[in-house]
A and B are shown apart, each in its own frame.
Chain A
Amino acid sequence: MILYGLRRLIYLVPVAFGVSLLVFALVHLAPGDAISAIVPPDAPQEVVEKLRAYYGFDKPLPVQYFRWLVVTLSGDFGTSIGTGRPVSEEVGGAFLNTIVLAISACLVAFSLAIFLGTAAGYAKSRIVDRLVTSIALTGISVPNYWLAIVLVIIFSVELGWLPPMGLGPESATGWKLDFAHLRYMVLPTIALSMIPLGVMTRTVRSTIKEILNSEFVTALQAKGMNDRQILFHVLKNAAPTCLAVMGLQAGNLIGGSILIETVFSWPGTGFLLNSAIFRRDLPILQGTTLVLSFFFMMLNLTVDMIQTVVDPRIKRG
């Protein structure tokens, strides 16, 4: 097990290198120019060229990549072209804000999905099954940014119950765990949890239904076990599949939602990326994408490890 974990960690190195290369290439392939985004449209070319040299964009791309890699490996990530602030500070602060929102959306989505999916999987009534399936389908189909705007219109504009944007009250800085800040999380959490709710509900439902048709369930019933005891076995068997999907969904949420964070002006990685894309802030774009990719890889690794613990049938290496 430990050996497996170590081996997977070593595999991460070439993957991370590939990701960094891909990130760098994609960012530089996009049309537009980092310097033209930070100078006024009529800035003299002489100034543009000076700045290009100042930030090292006058060097060939392989040299730029190598320099960026060296800086990144030292844990520095460089400085933002747009703000002049260290990329690590920018990404770190935004990442924490995104994590808070992602955890809250995961909690809502996964707990509801397990409840609804299990209910639908077990339901003998077709109405319950269809109702849950409809909820899941809605979650997947409705664009979450549209839902976010609708939620804001209903709960902020019309009813005035919840704030439409921001991280917390005017007097506060940063996120804190208190009632005032939780109010600001309600709408973005609902909007962000809809897709994972839909995906997870469908996964749980179909997995449970499939397991209920297994021979071992019939055997358990024949042994005289009650429904609650059987449910425990069913859930245990459903866990590996559900965990794998949960891992991917959690990764997507932690990756940040550019649209949701922009709609709610939530200063997370999505909001940061949005701003960086428009400013062509290459160090921020590269730094954020790399950190998110790395986190995604670590999350996948963690899920794989948990799966092995939960289901001993899964043999690793």
Chain B
Amino acid sequence: MLKHVRVALAGLGILAASAGSAFSQGTLRIGMTAADIPLTTGQPDQGFEGYRFAGYTIYDGLVNWDLSKADTLADIKPGLATEWKADPADLKKWTFKLRQGVKFHDGTDFTADAVIWNLDKLLNDKSPQFDAKQTAQARGRIPTLIGYKKIDDYTVELETRIANALFPYDMSYIFYSSPTNWEKQGKDWVKVALNPVGTGPFKVDRMVPRERLDLSRFDGYWDKARVPKLDKVILYPMPEAATRTAALLSGQIDWIEVPAPDALPRLKQGGMVIVSNKYPHNWAYQPSMAEGSPFLDIRVRKAANLAIDRAGVKKLVGDMAIESKGHVYPGHPWFGTPSFDIKYDPEAAKALLKEAGYSATNKPKIKIAISTSGSGQMLPLPMNEYVQENLNAVGFDCSFEVMEWNALVTFGFQSVKGEASTKAGTNAINISRAFVDPYSAFMRLMHSEFLPPKGANWGLLKDAKLDALIDKAHNSFDKAEQTKALADAHTYAVDQALWIWIVHDLNPRAMSPKVKGFVQAQSWFQDLTTITMQ
């Protein structure tokens, strides 16, 4: 009997030994939240997680992001273009000087022809390489680009519909895949997805749909300071948070995205490192400014902002959030100097509602469209329920129209006056927003010309002063002036309490203590090239 027990224990010992990592130093294994590998052909899907892992790893933009610092907001820097400038005689024409000596992973040269070929891939549906899937991902990122031409092998001219000083930000979202590889793969983007070729710091070794994406260091990368220190990066789609947590704790992977807040203590107990940082994320309510909405009254908007106990919401998400003081967080270059202090002050909120003519028998009715889950939505149900209690406590009559994430996104494609919202009776929406660049932060959300379907100004906000401030930023070709104009726009937006701002996510990720050298930038994107494995 004892002999049998010993044999069984020996067997278990072998199993336990083989369960550990068999990987050599230099391989980083990451569990993504996506349920499938993001598109690898050039323009990734799956939101900014796709850009993070299948975008800036395999590809470069003409304009890249400086992700080297944790203490300042990530900003753009030269990528495949060394410099760019708008023509002073015609501000709608931009000249981009391309970097010489850049090679695709297949050894072919990156030139102006490759830029034109890739822009045709997205914008010219008559071109043989046109790819509707990539267009779907990219077109909204370059709303003003209307023309492009080659000047010489290393110079291209891009034309915008209007003068747009922020156009270089737009170009940071456009990636360049190898035309030669597309030919080699039989001019078939599905095959290219399995064998993609870019210019980025990592090349693709293997792509197994829904299972894994294997990347390895590209030794010929043009930016020698960013040649990856790692040998390999393996990306796994792991949509279930509990699975990611277990895989990290068991040593099957080294890094997980978005650990569940309630798993953080267990991860810390297991010796894992939780890394987080501010980044351009906004969890807020976008109110209706349409006729009949209670939010037309600034006192109601201010009351809603003052009614919310943000410290409580923060606690709910395991402290992985910062309390909002506006559309962007304090310390952000665009924060400005708003005089309206967004804080938890229920008494002031009650007084404002009273002043606005509301009472216990005449409460302002608000109905918010929310989702049950979704990219960037954090923990939408408990967070919204918490805020609902706060709002009702000061005299609001708050209810929700709850829907699944994709349904909410579709719902947001129409304005508050659209059929879906009218039918549901909603007068606010809760879609978390990124404010990566000035266009995504202000123009598309708050400018009166960007009402759906053109933009995402769902609540039909029309404020001439705000429009002028946003326009000024878009027309300022001097960086300091541009930043000042954006700070003025933000100051105005906060002072007018144009939205109900709640928290900014802190973008937590958990990793094994073996992962060294990672700097979490204040960005949705991150640089994996600095990482080593101990």
List the interface of chain A (C-beta within 8 A of B): 31-33, 35-48, 50-51, 54, 79, 82-86, 90, 93-94, 149, 152-153, 156-157, 159-167, 169-170, 173-174, 180, 183, 262-265, 267, 271-272, 274-275, 278-280
Contact = CB atoms under 8 A, between A and B. Distances in A.
Given A41-B431, A41-B456, A271-B35, A161 B240 contact: no
A32 B407 contact: yes
A63 to B, nearest CB: 20
Given A39-B137, A39-B140, A262-B243, 11 more contacts: A33-B410, A38-B133, A41-B456, A44-B453, A51-B132, A51-B136, A163-B252, A167-B211, A170-B22, A265-B236, A272-B210
Nearest to A259: B240
B404 interface: yes
A149 B242 contact: yes
Kindly list the 10 A-B residue pairs having the minimum CB-CB distance in the complex, ordered from nearest: A45-B453, A275-B35, A43-B140, A32-B406, A31-B407, A164-B246, A156-B250, A47-B139, A152-B246, A157-B249
Nearest to B414: A45
B289 interface: no
Interface of B: 12, 15-16, 18-20, 22-23, 29, 35-36, 39, 45, 47, 125, 132-133, 135-137, 139-141, 143, 189-190, 193, 206, 208-212, 234, 236-240, 242-243, 246-247, 249-252, 270, 403-407, 409-410, 412-413, 431, 440, 444, 452-456
A45 B413 contact: yes
B16 A84 contact: no
Contact of B243 (A47, A82, A264): A264
B247 A164 contact: yes
Contacts of B404: 31-32
Contact of A43 (B39, B139, B208, B250): B139
Interface centre among B12, B16, B133, B431 (most CB of A within 10 A): B133
Contacts of B251: 160
6 contacts: A32-B404, A36-B406, A160-B20, A161-B15, A163-B19, A267-B211
Contacts of B403: 31
Contact of B140 (A35, A42, A180): A42
A217 B206 CA distance: 63
Nearest to B374: A278
A157 B238 CA distance: 16
B211 A280 contact: no
Contact of B250 (A33, A86, A160): A160
A42 B252 contact: no
A33 B193 contact: no
B454 A44 contact: yes
A225 B208 CA distance: 60
B243 A48 contact: no
Contact of B16 (A32, A38, A160, A272): A160
A157 B248 CA distance: 9
A160 B18 CA distance: 9
A94 B36 CA distance: 13
A169 B236 CA distance: 12
Given A41-B456, A45-B452, A84-B190, A278 B140 contact: no
A274 B240 CA distance: 11
A166 B209 contact: no
Contacts of B12: 161
Nearest to B27: A170
Given A153-B246, A263-B243, A265-B236, A43 B19 contact: no
Contacts of B406: 31-33, 36-37, 278-280
B215 to A, nearest CB: 13
A36 B410 contact: yes
B242 A152 contact: yes
A44 B139 contact: yes
A37 B35 CA distance: 13
Given A33-B406, A82-B36, A47 B140 contact: yes
A42 B444 contact: yes
B35 A278 contact: yes
B193 A31 contact: no
B132 A265 contact: no
A42 B440 contact: yes
Contacts of A35: 136
B190 A47 contact: no
A313 B114 CA distance: 74
Nearest to B133: A84
A206 B22 CA distance: 49
Given A36-B413, A162-B19, A265-B236, A275 B36 contact: yes
Contacts of A275: 35-36, 210, 237, 239
B455 A156 contact: no
Nearest to B13: A161
Nearest to B403: A31
Given A41-B409, A42-B140, A160-B19, A48 B453 contact: yes
